[in-house]
Amino acid sequence: MFYSLARAALFSLDPEVAHDLTLKKLDRVAALGIPRLLFRRADDLPVQAMGLSFRNPVGLAAGMDKNAAHVDALGTLGFGHIEAGTVTPLPQPGNPKPRIFRLIPAQGVINRMGFNNEGVERFVANVRRQPRFRAAGGILGLNIGKNAATPLERALDDYLAALRAVYAHADYVAVNISSPNTKDLRALQGERELQALLAGLAAARRALEDEHGRRVPLAVKIAPDLADAAIAPLADLLVANGVDGVIATNTTIARDRVRGLAHADEAGGLSGRPLRERATEVVRLLAGHLQGRLPIIASGGVMSGADALEKVQAGATLVQIYTGFIYSGPDLIVDCVDALRAHFAAHGG
């Protein structure tokens, strides 16, 4: 009830203004312990993935907290993990505004943010000053990308710089090669380009593991717009290069499910309910090929507990929410955990 009232007010504002305002307000109320009074909190439902222990399978996808400035506040809502970022080595403003558009009849969002962030130095400082989420058992993923001005042939340099900067502060690192909002970024999913990127990251991680005395898992986030035939070869490259998990999926450039709606023709990545079916199909294709060799983190169109269960039944170990959180608020976390708990109780897991 509380969030439905708040949403009505927030949806009267420009989406990016509403986003920033929500996070600022959450910081304030979380410091006073108010979220625990206003929202139900999911009970633990432990799950193991990438060598890590998650207190429940439901996480926050990257994009909500690009600068890792609100981790502890978001952590009070009951997420099992939070993925902050995407962060780039240098600060960048992202694409011109307006760059977020609600498609309310479809429960969707189009964004073309363009990795707007304050750079990895500020990002790491923000992580360091917010220890409470991790101290309470939350898992923190840090999502890295390349600067828009960096030529594609130098992309590895950016990913290495970001990896070295965040390594000591992450429970896992997510490698974003699938945003549609940075020019040519998705070309890094090509076989030759991906092999070069993964080999470079693997070598750097070996050195960082020796330096820090701990192995931080790597996950790669892929696009839903890959051809079906490209998914198995991509998955094989992830396994061959020692990647620990795959995040499926990022936003889509497809518009077939939102044709005719206001803002449907805006450039950018579409998320929310219109993405659900394709994102689940990518999870299913990955799971069928991988046969358990890598855990799958499902992201894309999780708008209800039933959607989270659909992803797990398709082969995911963890799920992430973002657009569903915008439309339904913190109760969605509980709904997802409860749906998965009931399924595991009935069928094992």
The DSSP symbol for 96 reads: P
Cis link prior to 330 (omega < 30° from 0)?
A: no
The residues, any chain, with a CB within 8 Å of residue 196's CB and separated by 6 or more, are: 156
Please say whether the dihedral angle defined by the alpha carbons of residues 128, 140, 330 and 44, taken in this order, is positive or negative: negative
- What 8-state DSSP symbol labels residue 317? S
Distance between CA atoms of 267 and 275, rounded to whole angstroms? Answer: 16
Q: What DSSP string describes 170-196?
A: -SEEEEE---TTSTTGGGGGSHHHHHH
Q: Are 71 and 123 in contact (CB under 8 A)?
A: no
- Confirm whether 299 is a catalytic residue: no
- Of 178, 179, 299, 328, the active-site residue reads 179
Beta partners for residue 247, in sequence order = 221, 297
User: Amino acid identity, residue 241?
Assistant: N
What phi and psi, each to the nearest 5 degrees, are found at residue 269? Answer: -100, 135
Of 70, 45, 69, 67, the C-alpha closest to 58 is 45
DSSP at 141: E
Residue 39 CB: number of other CB atoms within 10 A? Answer: 18
Cα 103 from Cα 121, distance rounded (Å): 35
Q: Which residues are catalytic?
A: 179
